[in-house]
Amino acid sequence: MRIELYSLGFDTPKVSFYLRTPWRAATLEVKLFESVARLPGLQVEKGVEEMRVDITEPKLWKLAIQAVARVIKGWQEEAIPGNEKRSWRWLLEADVDADGYDDYGEKASLWGFLRVSIDRGNPGEGEKGEDFDLDNFGIQIWGLER
| Residue pLDDT, tens place only, 3-54 | 999 999 999 999 999 999 988 999 999 999 999 999 999 999 999 899 999 9
Distances (CA, A) of 33 to 39, 52, 71, 81, 100: 11, 9, 10, 27, 29
pLDDT at 146 over 60: no
Per-residue pLDDT reduced to its tens digit, 36-48: 999 999 999 999 8
pLDDT at 125 over 70: no
pLDDT at 105 over 90: no
- Mean pLDDT value across the chain: 90
pLDDT score at 139? 96
pLDDT score at 126? 64
| Alpha-carbon gap, residue 42 to 96, rounded angstroms | 30
What does residue 71 show for φ and ψ, rounded to 5 degrees? -65, -45
The answer to whether residues 94 and 109 touch, using CB atoms and an 8 Å cutoff, is yes
pLDDT score at 99? 80
Cβ within 8 Å of residue 124, ≥6 positions away = none
Closest to 10 in 3D by CA, of 58, 54, 53, 42: 58
Cβ within 8 Å of residue 63, ≥6 positions away = 39
Dihedral sign for Cα 140, 144, 145, 146, please: negative
Is the pTM for the entire model greater than 0.85? yes
3-state SS, residue 44? strand
Closest to 108 in 3D by CA, of 67, 57, 146, 70: 146
